[in-house]
A and B are shown apart, each in its own frame.
Chain A
Amino acid sequence: EAGVAQSPRYKIIEKRQSVAFWCNPISGHATLYWYQQILGQGPKLLIQFQNNGVVDDSQLPKDRFSAERLKGVDSTLKIQPAKLEDSAVYLCASSFQGATNEKLFFGSGTQLSVL
């Protein structure tokens, strides 16, 4: 079974530039998550999708971050314009239904460096 796919693996940009990350969840998983993991910290949820609808985006900095999952399958997370503090690993995860007891399956992440 294919896991959660993310690309690119690494990205280096200058501040004020734009960047986009892509995620393809496990086939059949309705729930997709984007997490931000700053070095030395635990992952923090940015946005959660159920199919193509947003369930939780309370911690997404909406003035610069946007995300979509138009067909309820793969998803794109965009940052525009990037700031130095956006340097982090962006993790995508998926689960079957998003229930309280479900385990999440994670991709390898995209490591973003903003210079």
Chain B
Amino acid sequence: AQKVTQAQTEISVVEKEDVTLDCVYETRDTTYYLFWYKQPPSGELVFLIRRNSFDEQNEISGRYSWNFQKSTSSFNFTITASQVVDSAVYFCALSQKAAGNKLTFGGGTRVLVKP
């Protein structure tokens, strides 16, 4: 079974502040992928980043960075110097071959960036 939990339902920040979104996952498989998607008010989910289970190296891509820790089954996502356009719902998701590559989403975290 696979499960994704996003404990934060809503985060409100002022522009230029950093925002960190928490994600905890459950899986019995050793091979899996973790994703972050963004859902702006238009409704269309947009892929942001992905990480495979064998690579725990944390990375930075522009204003996005992520912290993957297998020991705690966490895959946290940070937006640095937030902007109003970052206001959206962010979803963490898990895909594993043992589950037929089905993408399982967490409940989402709504981020509101105020000017």
Chain A residues proximal to chain B, CB less than 8 Å = 3, 33, 40-45, 48, 55-56, 89, 91, 93, 98-109, 111
Compute the total of residue contacts between A and B using a CB distance below 8 Å.
61
Instruction: Please determine whether A107 and B44 come into contact, CB atoms closer than 8 angstroms.
Output: yes
Instruction: Please determine whether A103 and B50 come into contact, CB atoms closer than 8 angstroms.
Output: yes
B interface, size bucket: 20 to 34
Closest residue of A by beta carbon distance from B103: A104
> Within residues 55 to 112 of chain B, which ones have a CB less than 8 A from any CB in chain A?
91, 93, 95-97, 100-108
Interface of A is mostly: loop
Instruction: Please determine whether A100 and B47 come into contact, CB atoms closer than 8 angstroms.
Output: no
Of the candidates A45, A93, A108, the one whose C-beta lies within 8 Å of that of B42 is: A108
Cα distance A56–B103 when bound, in Å?
11
Instruction: Please determine whether B42 and A41 come into contact, CB atoms closer than 8 angstroms.
Output: no
A87 to chain B, nearest CB (A): 15
Chain B residues proximal to chain A, CB less than 8 Å = 4, 6, 31-33, 35, 42-47, 50, 52, 91, 93, 95-97, 100-108
Whether A100 contacts B96 in the complex (CB less than 8 A), given A42-B91, A48-B102, comes out as yes
Closest residue of A by beta carbon distance from B48: A103
For A104, list chain B residues within 8 Å (CB). Answer: 45, 47, 103
Cα distance A44–B96 when bound, in Å?
16
B67 to chain A, nearest CB (A): 20
Instruction: Please determine whether A100 and B31 come into contact, CB atoms closer than 8 angstroms.
Output: yes
Closest residue of A by beta carbon distance from B46: A106
Instruction: Please determine whether B100 and A43 come into contact, CB atoms closer than 8 angstroms.
Output: no
Cα distance A24–B97 when bound, in Å?
26
Whether A100 contacts B101 in the complex (CB less than 8 A), given A41-B107, A42-B107, A42-B108, comes out as yes
Cα distance A111–B44 when bound, in Å?
12
For A42, list chain B residues within 8 Å (CB). Answer: 4, 6, 91, 93, 105-108
Closest residue of A by beta carbon distance from B47: A103
For A56, list chain B residues within 8 Å (CB). Answer: 100, 102
